[in-house]
Amino acid sequence: MPSRSPSAAPHLARIALFPIKSLDGMVVERARFAPGSGLVHDRAFAIFDETGRIVNGKRDARVHAIRAEYAPDLESVRIGVGASREWFSLRDRRPLEAWLSSYFEMPVTVRADAESGFPDDTQAPGPTVISTATLAEVASWYGSMTLDSARRRFRANLEIGGVPAFWEDRLYGEPGEPIPFTVGAAMLAGTNPCQRCVVPSRDQETGATIDAFSKTFAERREERLPPWAHRSRFNHYYRLAINTVTMPQTIGATIAILDRVEVATQVSEPLG
């Protein structure tokens, strides 16, 4: 039987879900794969303006001041700014929409998609992957940044422990050559290093921006790119974490903390 010891390497060290896209996440012990390739409850809701565009931190820095926490059954959310917070249903979302519309000073709606969610990369909508060591390394580039702050800035779903920084750069090949890997019994394939936006440069509590964040990041990322990374995938070096697709046989499967992570040698089925 495979070891589930925390010292086993590589292993799944942390799972984060972000039920409402762009708002606070939640850490869970296990997660199940949804029909659309992502994790159940991850980015299952999103805030839309009147033109049908998603309201996110990339477009509106006011998003960062909103605090959100979720009921265990994920049917309600406690939301607010500062110390003033209240509970809202995620079934009847009209009161939540009214609160958000007032906050953003424009009409917004909250839409749901339980099967596919609202991933950033619709071509690779599986969970995003990064290592704990990578986040710690990146945090060290910015003085007072903590590991938890780096986690909140980069918002990855699956964190791998027991590996060196940038280990996850093993999980993509040349364009069109996904790299298959397993997390417990789940089968995924890494497709590309994720291109980042302005959001990681901002403090997730205050929205304050670190000066020259992306320039510093790109310089350090290029300097520290590991030998196993494919440089051809970096038209610029402001990229971090790996986008993935989920193999069809994995839909409905569950992963849990301490599951082993193994890089496979070939794709057993065509990617969906």
Residue 51, judged by CB atoms within 10 A of its CB (0-12, 13-18, 19+), counts as: exposed
What's the pLDDT score for residue 1? 37
Tell me the pairing of strands 129-131 and 158-161: parallel
Cα four-point dihedral sign 50, 52, 53, 55? positive
pLDDT in tens, 148-191: 999 999 999 999 999 999 999 999 999 999 999 999 999 999 99
Percent of the chain with pLDDT over 90: 87
In 7-131, which residue ranges form alpha helices assigned H by DSSP? 94-104
Instruction: Look at strands 26-28 and 76-81 and give their pairing.
Output: unpaired
Q: What does the alpha-carbon distance between residue 204 and residue 77 come to, in Å, rounded to a whole number?
A: 18
Query: pLDDT per residue over 83-127, tens digit each?
Result: 889 999 999 999 999 999 999 999 999 999 999 999 999 999 999
Q: How confident is the model at residue 203 (pLDDT cuts 50, 70, 90)?
A: confident
Residue 270 pLDDT level (bands cut at 50, 70, 90): very low
Residue spans of the domains in the chain: they are 11-40+120-263, 48-112
Q: Are 165 and 131 a contacting pair, CB within 8 Å? A: yes
Mean pLDDT, rounded, of the chain: 93
**Residue showing tokens 């007072």:** 144
Picking from 118, 122, 138, the residue whose alpha carbon sits closest to that of residue 241 is: 138
Assigned token pair, 213: 């964040």
What is the pLDDT at residue 82? Answer: 86
Amino acid at 196: R
Give the span between the Cα atoms of 174 and 176, in whole angstroms: 6
Average pLDDT over residues 133-149: 96
- What pLDDT sits at residue 205? 81
The CATH fold of domain 11-40+120-263 = M1 Pyruvate Kinase; Domain 3 (2.40.33)
| Each residue's pLDDT tens digit, 232-264 | 999 999 999 999 999 999 999 999 999 999 998
User: What is the predicted pLDDT for the residue at 2?
Assistant: 42
Stretch 44-63: mean pLDDT, rounded? 95
Cis peptide bond upstream of 125, omega within 30: no
Is this structure's pTM higher than 0.85?
Answer: yes
Span between the terminal Cα atoms of the chain, in Å:
30
Asked if the model's pLDDT at residue 206 lies above 60, the reply is yes
Nearest to 243 by CA among 201, 204, 203, 188: 188
Strands (E), 82-148: 84-89, 108-112, 129-131
The 10s digit of each residue's pLDDT in 92-104 is: 999 999 999 999 9
SS3 181: strand
Percent of the chain residues past pLDDT 70, beyond the cut: 94
Q: Is the pLDDT of residue 67 over 60?
A: yes
CA count, 13 A, side-chain hemisphere, 76? 8
